Structure formats: structure tokens, C-alpha cells
Amino acid sequence: MFLSLKLYHDNLLKVHVVEFFMVEVIKEFVFEFFKNLKCLVSQDGNLVVIDNVPKSFEDLVGKAAPYRLNFSGNVEGSDFAGKGSRFLAAMTKYLEGAGKATLLKIDFDVDPMGEISKMISLKNCEINNLIKKHKNSFFSRFTFMTTFRYLSEAEQAVNEVYVHKGKVVKGDLSGYTVVEGDSEQVAGNHLEEDYKVAREFLKELLQDKTSEIGEVLGNQLEDEIARVRLHYENLLGELGGDLNGAVDKIRDVELALRSAEGEERDVLRARLERLRKGLVKIGDDDSRTRILKEQEFTIKDAAHKHSLNIDNKLVNTTVIYYPVFSFNLFLKGNDSGRYLELTYDPLTKTLDKLACETCGVGIKELNLCSAGHIACENCLEKCGECGKQFCCKCMKRSCSVCGKALCKDCSIMCVSCSKYVCQNHIRKDCVSGDDRCVNCLRACMRCHGMAQEKYFGEAMDGSKVCQKCLGAEKRGKVMERVFREK
């Protein structure tokens, strides 16, 4: 008796455990369903309170919101939302008849100056002009209702899969301003490919649940098959037992027939005939074949009953789009200007990254060189002549005499040696009039002018002087001789 009570208690406990998990599954389904409808969902003790429900669902369930839902079926002042309830039936029907396509727009209000200042610090320049433009970026949301059917049970789950640029992404529209979209701004040529991606991802999403149910069904099927095999093994054993008993009875009758006389002998002969006919019937191969076929059919039927059927239904496709902004701006520095275009994605809150145009390193502090190049602090230096800031791309020249860094405008090339020098180390050749560096000239000891070495000669006093001074000396001698002759 005590053993029977324990078995009853264990079975009752299993029933309660199964019922508890079913309640939790239904409860989760109800939560997800009304959240996807953008309803207000809250909890009041063991009750779930639903408000702000679409009119289409209110018409379907036949009751206006708010709803106070319970999952046990015996709570006063609330509606039951468990298995077999009108609410659960209405939710299933609503999903099956929901609109197949929805168009939504995430509405963003972006301050370009504010977003740029968050990402970039302008050091030696400022934004002089800014134009904001945008183009739409799209992603898809697919809502699937999955029904797991096994034995006499049916579990349902709703999953949303978001796809953006051919990849599954995490999606959550809560916290954003969402409005009804404009069909003229939407191109749906990406939906087919997005759906394929979502469908493959759904398989992965359901894998754990499928494995969990499959394992339970597999264990139950093994137990059922073992029970069926035992039953038919007993039948086959009984068939074999009857055969052996019949043979023993025939042997006994044959022995009795040997000593029998008269009418008893006739009776034994008739009995022997009946036993022999029964022996043929019992040992008939058709009987064994019939039992084996019945066993095979019963096992297949058990396997079918313990199979898992999964029905995935696409109940809604939503195209969601939002503006991706491009900021066309003009940077004004002290000595230069630069047009720049930056793309800002308000969903990911990312702005195009800027890199130094000299070293390629990403920068957050933007410097503008005097030639309009974007540069980091390490690649920016001043010209030794004018003092303006240039990047290393522009400051490739230096004075060959003093080594001073020079910009393009401040460097002068010597026509003799083709080297660059600064203003302090360039001189005009007093003979040819060309600009040459001081390294390519020498000073005349008489006029103190500077000229190339080839323009020097020896004066009458033996000193090295420039051709201009030599010419003046010779002209003076000629004039002196002329005046003497006169």
C-alpha cells in the first residue's frame, strides 16, 4: 500500500512539474506577444497587466483593454490566459492573420555641430559653413511563430530576427522615436536575401529547444519500444509454449492408444487427430509472421507518435529605415581652408574617423596646415621664415646653409647648385644679376659685392676683384691715357 502511495505521489509531482513549465512558457509567450505590439506591459503580483492594446486585437478578443491576465485560471477580477483560453486562441489567430508587411521609420533629430564636437576637437581651425544631408539606411525585421507539436502537446514561440546589410544584428526599437514609414522612400529589393539569412539564423535559434524536446521524446520512445518488444516477445513465447504442450499431449495420447481397446481406442484416435490438426495451426509460420509484422507496425506507430513536428510561420515582415547623415563642412584655418564630408550614423552613433594625411594615424584633435592638409600634432611644424604651420608633406625643404625648415613659398632655389636656401642666405650676383646662395658666391674686396668665382680677376694691385671692378679699373686707365695724350 505504501509503495502504491509513493508511486502516486511521484506521478503527481511529475504532472505538477510539467504544468509549471507549461505555465512559464505560456507566460513568456504572452509577454513577448504584447511587447511586440508596443503595448504597456506590467506585473501586479502574479497578474500581468496589459494596456494600450491595438483596436484590431480588442475586436478579435471581444474585450477592451486594459487586461489583467492570470495563468492559473482561478483568480477573481482577471482573465485566464492559459492553455485553451480565449486569450491564447485570440493571440494565435492574431499572429496568423497579422499584416504581412509593415513599414517603420526611426525618426532622428541630429545636431551636426553637437555630434561633431563629441567626436572631434578642432585645434587651429573652425567650421565656417556646414550643410546637412541624408540618405536612408534599411534593415529588415522578420517575425516568426514557431509551433512545436509532439505527442498531444503544442508549444508556440515568437522570435524576431533583424537583418542589416546581409547580416543578423541585435535589434531593439525601444527608446527610439518610431513613426509610420513612407513607401516612396523604401526600396524592397533587399528583402528576399534578408529573408534567407533570417530563416537560416532561425534554425540556429531553435536548435537548443529542438534538442531539448528531441532528447525527451527519444528517451520516451526508447521506453515505449522496450515495452512493445517485451509484449510481443511474450506472445511469441506463448506461441512456442503451446507448441511444446501440444507435442507432449500427442505423445501421451499415442502411448494411451497402444493399450486401449474397443470404444476407448476410437475416442483416443479422434482426440489424436484433433491434436495433430491443432499442432499444424499452432506451428504455422504465418502466425509468427503475423505477430512480427504487428510488432513492427506498433513500433513504427510509436515512433510516429513520439516524433517532433516544427512549423515555422512568417507572420510579419517589417522594413525599418532611418536617415544616415552626411555633413558637408568647410574648415577655415588662419591661412587656409578645407572642404570635408563626414558621415554620421545616428543608430550606431558613429562618425567617420579622421586620419592624419601624413602618417595615417587616427586623430581626435584636428589640425589644419597652412596648405589645407589634415595633420596630427606630431606631423605639424612651423616654417622657419614665415612662422606658419605646415604638415610634413609641405615642409620637405630646408636651408642648405643654416638647416632652417622652409615652406614652399619661403624657399629659394640657387640657380647654380639647385639647392634651397632661406632669405638670409640668398644674394644677388653683382655681375650677372642672378639670385645665388652664399655658398656659390664670394665677396669682392673692392666693392664688397658678391659674385661667382668665375667672374673674379686680379687687379693691378694683385687683389682678387669682380669683373665690374676690373672693368672700372681698365676704363680708368684708358681715360687716364687719353687725357695724357691730349
**Model pLDDT, residue 324:** 92
Average pLDDT, the chain: 81
3-state secondary structure 376-434: CHHHEEECCCCCCEEECCCCCEECCCCCCEECCCCCEECCCCCCEECHHHEEECCCCCC
**Model pLDDT, residue 281:** 52
C-alpha cell at 425: 642666405
Q: Give the residues across from 406 on adjacent strands.
A: 397
**Model pLDDT, residue 354:** 92
User: Residue 349 in contact with residue 156, Cβ under 8 Å?
Assistant: no
**Model pLDDT, residue 7:** 32
**Model pLDDT, residue 133:** 92
Measured CA to CA in angstroms, residue 343 lies from 19, 127, 132 at distances of 54, 16, 10
The Cα 382–Cα 384 span in angstroms is 6
**Model pLDDT, residue 278:** 62
pTM of the model: 0.56
The Cα 328–Cα 116 span in angstroms is 12
| CB-side neighbour CA atoms (13 Å) of 433 | 0
Backbone angles phi, psi at 135, to 5 degrees: -135, 150
Domain boundaries, the chain: 1-97, 137-318
> 140-161 burial, b for 16+ CB within 10 Å, e for fewer?
bbbbbbbebebeeeebbbbbbb
Instruction: Give the DSSP H or E segment for 204.
Output: helix 191-259
User: Residue 465 in contact with residue 456, Cβ under 8 Å?
Assistant: yes
**Model pLDDT, residue 77:** 83
Residue 319 DSSP class: E
Residues of the chain with pLDDT under 50: 1-21, 99, 282-283, 486
- The answer, yes or no, to whether the previous bond of 112 is cis (omega within 30 of 0) is no
Residue 175 DSSP class: T
